[in-house]
Amino acid sequence: MISSVNTSIPIGLATSAHDTHDTVAASATFRARADAVARIAESRADAVDRDAAFPEAAFAEIRRQRLLGIMVPRHLGGESAPFSEIVDVCYRLGQACASTAMIYAMHQVKMACIVRYVGEGTALEAYLSRIAREQLLLASSTTEGSAGGNVRASEAPVEQNGDQIRLTRQASCISYALNADGIVTTARRSPQAAVSDQVLLVFPREQYRLEPTVGWDTLGMRGTCSEGFTLYAEGTSANIVPVAYERIHQRSMVPAAHLMWSAAWAGAAAAAVGRAQAFVRTAARQSQGRLPPGTPHLGRAVASLRTLVALLASSLENYERLIDDETALGSLEFQTAITLTKVQASELAVETVLGAMRTCGLAGYRNDGAFSVARHLRDVLSAPIMINNDRILANLAPQTLLAALPTAIRA
């Protein structure tokens, strides 16, 4: 098995200087724990892909390493992990198994959407403690019916009778729903509300049931098990996050999703480049130093990967700098920049893996062998489709017409 970590390619995304010994030690701990998961995830990645199976072994190790609750504040039993550390875990897992990384990223996106907004002394705050204590896995239900990937429009309303609530939702996709311990979902605030007047709800497993509607047999990201379901949930008003979803969407959902997903795709791209490097070295050794014909593509793939990592590191640094400035996060400038980060990262990931495949030639194109990057390519091909880039660019067209253009290389 070719190791997915190579010192010639970027091994992390976080770039901010760590000034204290404690922060450096915590970072090393997170990475060591992610490495332990990655070793198991990599050994099972081909089987997960072949069988379209949830990565059970990898998530058993994630729970052993207690990585599901690291975003939960320390006073609730978590580790108050910095956002950048979680993004780096997504990147490391992406080098091993893209499905494992994407599931972990989706869970942490939901955590980012509720950690800041649950309120002190609430049932949801207690549930955060339970997530950290029991290492619960959260699934996401934000795509629905004819709205498809438009997460800012909900068809299903919350039906309320006194303090009791009920939700019936035609979810076109709920990734790893049958393996999750809870679901975080959007809904219209009431039957009378506009489709964009949304709330975010958190339902533990005992408060909902699922009826399968659509299966999952796809080109890549097969282990995410992103099937369709009718979701039937019942609870109380305590299940509703007490902040309008519009605010959560801008401040947490959009940046967390675009950065964490992109880190998972970047990890898969890094693994493909690592295999391409190993292929060229092996071929050169076996032919008395002659380089294989695809070698020029390796330089392009490495350059593309470094551009991808630099893009994510810059966007991550910008988000962490503004994370407590709600006005800045809601600004047209930030929302446009973070959304375009997703578009650029997804396309660069595909370009990088294609470069790795062309480097390896037939050895990369094969589904078997130490230098195969077929799984990596199939997985990253989901990136431009997951929240479709065409939809994003069409929605951003008016903003880009008004966007200020750079006047200098340095800000």
- Mind listing the pLDDT tens digit for each residue in 362-383? 999 999 999 999 999 999 999 9
- Mind listing the pLDDT tens digit for each residue in 180-221? 999 999 999 999 999 999 999 999 999 999 999 999 999 999
Three-class secondary structure assignment of 275-287: HHHHHHHHHHHHC
pLDDT over 80 at 11, yes or no: no
Sign of the Cα torsion 37, 43, 48, 54 reads negative
Lowest-confidence range among 37-41, 118-122, 310-314, 398-402?
Answer: 398-402
Residue 102, helix vs strand vs coil: helix
According to the model, what pLDDT value does residue 55 have? 98
pLDDT over 90 at 402, yes or no: no
- Mind listing the pLDDT tens digit for each residue in 316-331? 999 999 999 999 999 9
- Mind listing the pLDDT tens digit for each residue in 59-98? 999 999 999 999 999 999 999 999 999 999 999 999 999 9
The contacts of residue 403 (CB under 8 Å, 6+ apart) are 333, 336
Q: How far apart are CA 310 and CA 295, in angstroms?
A: 23
Q: How far apart are CA 195 and CA 156, in angstroms?
A: 9
How much is the average pLDDT of 28-35?
93
According to the model, what pLDDT value does residue 156 have? 96
According to the model, what pLDDT value does residue 268 have? 98
According to the model, what pLDDT value does residue 18 have? 40
Give domain 21-134's CATH superfamily.
Acyl-CoA dehydrogenase/oxidase, N-terminal domain (1.10.540.10)
CATH of the domain spanning 245-402: 1.20.140.10
pLDDT over 50 at 2, yes or no: no
Radius of gyration of the chain (CA): 21
According to the model, what pLDDT value does residue 264 have? 98
Identity of the amino acid at 291: L
How does residue 3 score in pLDDT terms, banded at 50, 70 and 90?
very low
The contacts of residue 161 (CB under 8 Å, 6+ apart) are none
How much is the average pLDDT of 14-32?
62
Give the pairing type, strands 138-141 and 182-188.
parallel
Exposed/middle/buried for residue 232 (C-beta within 10 Å: 0-12, 13-18, 19+): middle
How does residue 24 score in pLDDT terms, banded at 50, 70 and 90?
low
pLDDT over 80 at 247, yes or no: yes
- Partnered with residue 232 across adjacent β-strands are 168, 209
- Give percent of the chain with pLDDT exceeding 70: 92
**Cβ atoms within 10 Å of 190's Cβ, excluding its own:** 12
The contacts of residue 306 (CB under 8 Å, 6+ apart) are 9, 10
Q: pLDDT averaged over the chain?
A: 92
pLDDT over 70 at 20, yes or no: no
According to the model, what pLDDT value does residue 101 have? 98
According to the model, what pLDDT value does residue 5 have? 37
According to the model, what pLDDT value does residue 15 have? 45
Sheet arrangement for strand 182-188: 138-141, 182-188, 198-204
According to the model, what pLDDT value does residue 36 have? 97
Cα-based angle 172, 268, 274 (whole degrees, multiple of 5): 165
According to the model, what pLDDT value does residue 1 have? 33
**Global pTM value:** 0.93
According to the model, what pLDDT value does residue 22 have? 54
According to the model, what pLDDT value does residue 403 have? 76
How does residue 292 score in pLDDT terms, banded at 50, 70 and 90?
very high
According to the model, what pLDDT value does residue 146 have? 63
Candidate CATH numbers 2.60.120.280, 3.10.450.50, 2.40.110.10, 2.102.10.10; the one for domain 138-239: 2.40.110.10
What residue segments make up the domains of the chain, in order of their start?
A: 21-134, 138-239, 245-402
147 against 342, higher pLDDT? 342
